[in-house]
Amino acid sequence: MNDRYIRQVGLFPPGGQKKLGNSSILIVGAGGLGSPLLYYLCAAGFGRIGIADSGAVEVSNLNRQILYDPSQIGFSKTASAIKRLREFNDSVQFTPHPHITEDNAREIFSGYDIIADCTDNEPTRFLINKTALILDKFLAEGGINGFSGFVMSVKRGCACYGCLKLPHKPDSKPIASIGAAAGAVASLQAAECIKAALSIGEGVFNKALMLDIFNGGVFEMPVERDPQCPLCGGLY
Ligand SMILES: [Zn+2]
């Protein structure tokens, strides 16, 4: 056993660390959520991590996208992230992917066990949810807006992002968020992914965890499957 993981193996069933090492996960979006999420997944010891993002690092990213530093401004996010993360944990295998589109989503998703949605726009969220459900992949959803955020997990048979009726959609304009909100949401997403890989604990299914960091509150919002949902309606 690698001593690196000695402080967590006792939390897992026998063979759990090896199982994580044999697990693969795709992070869609290497921004505010993707940055801390990637750190925690690498720290936990996932074996293979894909990162889908076509963007370049901008100076305005640095308040929350903690994978990057000023020397990487203008450079590819995936290349910059992989360079940083390899220094952090070189036992993880990384693969860069372009931005997810209707044309490439199924092919890219099919190479991974678990998907994490760290994007910042509604059309891509819908595409990610639908593709994950069609391919029967576990999906960790998360979003932030200002001092607020939400987390929910999605799998076949459960409510999806399309069933979630948020009073204020995340990422709606203006896009302003503090890094700490992204970190809080991403940490919960990371925990959901680790539990899913190991088949332990209870996932955040059929509900959303709503974080109101400004007022210091976290509450649970039940989410029922919507038979008219444009994403999961009629799929199962
Ligand atoms: Zn749905």
Domains observed in the chain: 3-222 (3.40.50.720)
Determine the pLDDT at residue 166: 77
**Residue 138 alpha carbon to ligand 1 centre in Å:** 14
Q: Residue 25, exposed/middle/buried by CB under 10 A (0-12, 13-18, 19+)?
A: buried
**Residue 130 alpha carbon to ligand 1 centre in Å:** 9
Give the closest residue to 156 by CA, choosing from 77, 69, 225.
225
**Residue 141 alpha carbon to ligand 1 centre in Å:** 13
Determine the pLDDT at residue 2: 72
**Residue 162 alpha carbon to ligand 1 centre in Å:** 4
**Residue 158 alpha carbon to ligand 1 centre in Å:** 8
Q: Which residues of 100-115 are buried (b: 16+ CB within 10 A; e: fewer)?
A: beeeebeebbeebbbb
Q: What string of pLDDT tens digits covers the 236 residues of the chain?
A: 579 999 999 999 999 999 999 999 999 999 999 999 999 999 999 999 999 999 999 999 999 999 999 999 999 999 999 999 999 999 999 999 999 999 999 999 999 999 999 998 999 999 999 999 999 999 999 999 999 999 999 999 999 999 998 766 655 555 689 999 999 999 999 999 999 999 999 999 999 999 999 999 999 999 999 999 999 998 88
**Residue 114 alpha carbon to ligand 1 centre in Å:** 18
Distance of alpha carbon 160 from alpha carbon 89, whole angstroms: 32
- Residues with Cβ–ion distance below 5 A, ligand 1: 160, 162-163, 229, 231-232
Contact present, 33 and 182 (Cβ < 8 Å): yes
CB-facing half-sphere around the CA of 202: CA atoms within 13 A:
4
Using DSSP's 3-state secondary structure scheme, residue 82 falls into: helix
* 186 phi and psi angles, rounded to 5 deg: -65, -35
Rounded to 10 deg, the angle between the 34-44 and 77-88 helix axes is: 30
Using DSSP's 3-state secondary structure scheme, residue 151 falls into: strand
**Residue 150 alpha carbon to ligand 1 centre in Å:** 16
**Residue 173 alpha carbon to ligand 1 centre in Å:** 24
**Residue 72 alpha carbon to ligand 1 centre in Å:** 38
